[in-house]
Amino acid sequence: MEIHFIPSKLRLSYLTGDLFESLEASGTDSAFFIDKLEKSIEKEKLSEHNSRPLILGARDTRAGREGCTLLHSAARIGNFQVAQYLLQQPETIVDARNNSSSLVTPLMLAVSMCIFDIAEILALAGANLHLQDRNGENVFHYLARTGSAKTLKKLVELGQASARDVQQLASTANCNRRFPEDLASNQLLKEVLCSYRMHGGYVSSSSSRRKTKGKRGVAFASTLTTSVTAAAATASSLSPSSGSPTNNTLPL
């Protein structure tokens, strides 16, 4: 019987080698890193007789990067091609937390670094918008600080969030009891987040004002019509009947 050995921590670290450093040093040369990663995966499969490469779930052990996966690293440095490649691998965990102390996901990291193209493909790949970090913040809190209302709307669309999901996300308070709208870096984003929290969708204040103004106009027109009709009825009752002659002669 063939025994499938799971690599020990030391063995997995050896197989990973300098992949994290290579990814950061690759810059725009994604092809070189992807080629190196594929060779490392093949090496792991051959040496460990493992058909599911654990190297894709390897964690960075460098100071300040503890617990980060390759997907975290790709999101942080903005390497779109590598992030796209990793998301195509079934072993990649889209919602991996970087470590137990901060609990940041690749999506949160991409948003915080304003790498919006990677944030969008993560949302499209099914990243969970509801996950919270150690401060109780979800991706809406992170988006609030970026000032990008466009990306906020795009992630809601790509993540296929329902109106109920949107309202719940916008209604989540962090550990300091602050909603995402409280962290918004501009007025438009604050307005959008506030509308999300109140309605589960975006209703602009100008549209709301137009609707209110329209309702007031209709009410005024209705009141005016009623008043005119009443005045006409009163005048009709006071005027002589059409069949009676009118006597305009003054008494002597």
Answer yes or no: do 99 and 14 share one domain. yes
Answer yes or no: do 97 and 168 share one domain. no
Answer yes or no: do 114 and 4 share one domain. yes
Answer yes or no: do 53 and 139 share one domain. no
Residue 60 lies in a domain: yes
- Tens of pLDDT, residues 111-143: 999 999 999 999 999 999 999 999 999 999 999
Nearest CA-CA partner of 140 in 179, 98, 191 = 179
- If one counts the domains in the chain, the total is 2
- Tens of pLDDT, residues 146-175: 999 999 999 999 999 999 999 999 999 999
Predicted confidence (pLDDT) at residue 100 exceeds the cutoff of 60: yes
Residue 210 lies in a domain: yes
- pLDDT for position 10: 42
Residue 82 lies in a domain: yes
Answer yes or no: do 15 and 110 share one domain. yes
Residue 197 lies in a domain: yes
- pLDDT for position 252: 37
Answer yes or no: do 102 and 152 share one domain. no
- Tens of pLDDT, residues 207-246: 545 544 555 555 555 555 666 566 566 656 655 544 444 4
Which pair of tokens denotes residue 114?
């304003």
Predicted confidence (pLDDT) at residue 14 exceeds the cutoff of 70: no
Answer yes or no: do 9 and 112 share one domain. yes
Answer yes or no: do 104 and 146 share one domain. no
- pLDDT for position 251: 43
Domain boundary among 125, 156, 191: 125
- pLDDT for position 230: 63
Which DSSP string do the residues of the chain spell out, in sequence order? ----PPPPHHHHHHHHTTHHHHHHHHTT-HHHHHHHHHHHHHHHHHHHT-SS-GGGG----STT-TT--HHHHHHHHT-HHHHHHHHTSTT--TT--S-TTT---HHHHHHHTT-HHHHHHHHHTT--TT---TTS--HHHHHHHHT-HHHHHHHHHHTT--HHHHHHHHT---TTS--GGGG-SSHHHHHHHHHHHHHSS---HHHHHHHHHHHHHHHHHHHHHHHHHHHHHHHHHHSPPTTSPP--PPP-
CB 144 within 8 A of CB 110: no
Domain containing residue 100: CATH number: 1.25.40.20
- pLDDT for position 217: 55
Residue 240 lies in a domain: no
Range of the domain at 190: 129-215
pLDDT band at 188 (very low <50, low <70, confident <90, very high): very high
Residue 237 lies in a domain: no
Domain boundary among 125, 158, 192: 125
Answer yes or no: do 154 and 97 share one domain. no
Answer yes or no: do 1 and 119 share one domain. yes
- pLDDT for position 44: 73
- pLDDT for position 244: 45
Mean pLDDT lowest for which of 38-42, 144-148, 173-177, 192-196? 38-42
Answer yes or no: do 108 and 6 share one domain. yes
- Tens of pLDDT, residues 48-91: 556 566 788 888 888 878 889 999 999 999 999 999 999 999 88
Residue 25 lies in a domain: yes
Predicted confidence (pLDDT) at residue 2 exceeds the cutoff of 50: no
Domain boundary among 101, 125, 149: 125
Average of per-residue pLDDT across 98-102: 82
Instruction: Between 204 and 72, name the one with better pLDDT.
Output: 72
Model pTM score? 0.75
Answer yes or no: do 32 and 89 share one domain. yes
- pLDDT for position 3: 34
